[in-house]
Amino acid sequence: MNRFDYVKPASIAEAIAAASQPGAAYLAAGTNLLDLMKGNVVRPSRLVDISRLPELNRIERLSNGDVRIGALVRNADLAHDPAFANDFPAVAEALLSGASAQLRNAATVGGNLLQRTRCAYFYDPASACNKRTPGAGCDARDGENSQHAVLGWSEACIATNPSDFCVPLAAFDAVVEIERKTGKREVALEALHLLPGTTPERETVLEPGEMIVGIRLPAAARSFAKHARYLKVRERTSYAFAVVSAAAGLIVENGAIKQARLALGGVAAKPWRAREAEALLAGQAAEAGAFQRAAAAALAGAKPSGDNAYKIPLATNLIVRALQAAAQGTPDRVPALPASPFSSVPVSSVPGVLHHA
Ligand code: SF4
């Protein structure tokens, strides 16, 4: 058992001061961190327990129309907030696609942004892993790598980011609010996570001691609410990480796409915003040919990192499905368990828990 300090600050300022020493880690719900500690994968010297800081537990609509989500809001509470699900249905759908009901009830949105890869070699201290031990090598390169990255990977690391929530956040221009000793700063969600390069141990742009305090969704993202979907392919219907996923949003006028938003999950070390595809879609008729061209553009730079060549056509087809589903319109109910994107059952007929006005 690795020994560590446990600190319970009463304010954000106290928390940041307590976390400024090397080896400290913030603890919120701990749904990922505690597993990593029990497996001896990470060994923080201090846990700074921020789970009871009241100012981080609110969903607020700001005067400019943006929505601010405190970092300690639970995944389930955000997904089941009727106003939020109405305005940002693809984000709610992604939240409901993640983990299990029990985990969604406990896990926080801030922690969701910082969850670690599910590469099995990362979780096994007996395996070589550059992310866990820089310079050690990567056992996934010649190992079981069918779930690994096809975009943005490097010889040092081929792991993927496991978050569902981050995918529509990237698509809809979410902003991450960060506090540190010297004040506040903001980072686009799209720029929060780093590609592995030669330093896969560095996963985000966060500096030591910096704390995510909130996530902001811009008012403009509501413009996509009538045509926004998140589709996820996984190995079982529930409680499984994405093999690939796609968040799609459209603004459609008279059958033509005015604007498009598209991001992928399960394909890279970060949620993958497909800007070339978005540009191709703008001005096009909302029909299959345009969706197929956009999907091809989104995967143009993809290459297998192992036994995962199948992910490229899978992601291509999923993008077309997600764009078709978005074009058909956001369903009245955001499904609690979305139907398989390859099911013939209309997704809107699956019993759900949220109503979309
Ligand atoms: Fe470690 Fe990345 Fe290789 Fe997995 S893919 S073993 S996380 S270096």
DSSP string covering 315-326, please? HHHHHHHHHHHH
pLDDT for 346 equals 46
Quick one: CA torsion of 158, 161, 164, 166, rounded to 10 degrees?
Answer: -130
- Residue type at 30? G
CATH code, residues 54-114+161-220:
3.30.465.10
The tokens describing 62, both together, are 């700001």
**Cα end-to-end span (Å), the chain:** 51
Q: What is the mean pLDDT of each run of 10 residues along the chain (357 residues)?
A: 93 96 96 97 98 95 97 97 96 95 96 98 98 98 98 98 98 98 97 98 97 98 98 91 97 97 98 98 98 98 98 98 96 67 47 38
H helical segments located in 308-348: 311-328
Q: Long-range contacts made by residues 139-144, C-beta under 8 angstroms, separation at least 24?
A: 140/306, 141/305, 141/306, 142/306, 143/306, 144/120, 144/307
Same fold, 54-114+161-220 and 222-341: no
Q: Which ligand 1 atom lies nearest to the CA of residue 120? A: 4
Residue among 42, 118, 131 whose CB has most ligand 1 atoms within 8 A, to mutate:
131
pLDDT for 340 equals 60
Q: How far apart are CA 347 and CA 109, in angstroms?
A: 26
pTM of the complete model: 0.94
Exposed (0-12), middle (13-18) or buried (19+): which is 3, by Cβ within 10 Å? exposed
Closest C-alpha to ligand 1, atom 3: 138
Residue among 42, 115, 116, 121 whose CB has most ligand 1 atoms within 8 A, to mutate:
121
Which residues have C-beta within 8 Å of that of residue 190, sequence separation ≥ 6? Answer: 170, 173, 270, 271, 273
The tokens describing 98, both together, are 């993640």
CATH code, residues 222-341:
3.30.390.50
Residues with CB under 6 A from ligand 1: 117, 119, 121-122, 129-131, 138-140, 157-159, 200
pLDDT for 237 equals 83
What stretches of the chain adopt beta strand conformation (E)? 5-7, 24-27, 46-49, 59-61, 67-70, 175-180, 183-188, 211-217, 228-233, 244-253, 256-265, 272-273, 333-335, 352-355
Q: How far apart are CA 10 and CA 291, in angstroms?
A: 50
The tokens describing 204, both together, are 């985000």
Å from CA of 105 to ligand 1 middle: 29
Query: Any idea where the domains of the chain sit in the sequence?
Result: 54-114+161-220, 222-341
Å from CA of 114 to ligand 1 middle: 17
Contact 16, 181 (CB under 8 A): yes
Closest C-alpha to ligand 1, atom 2: 157
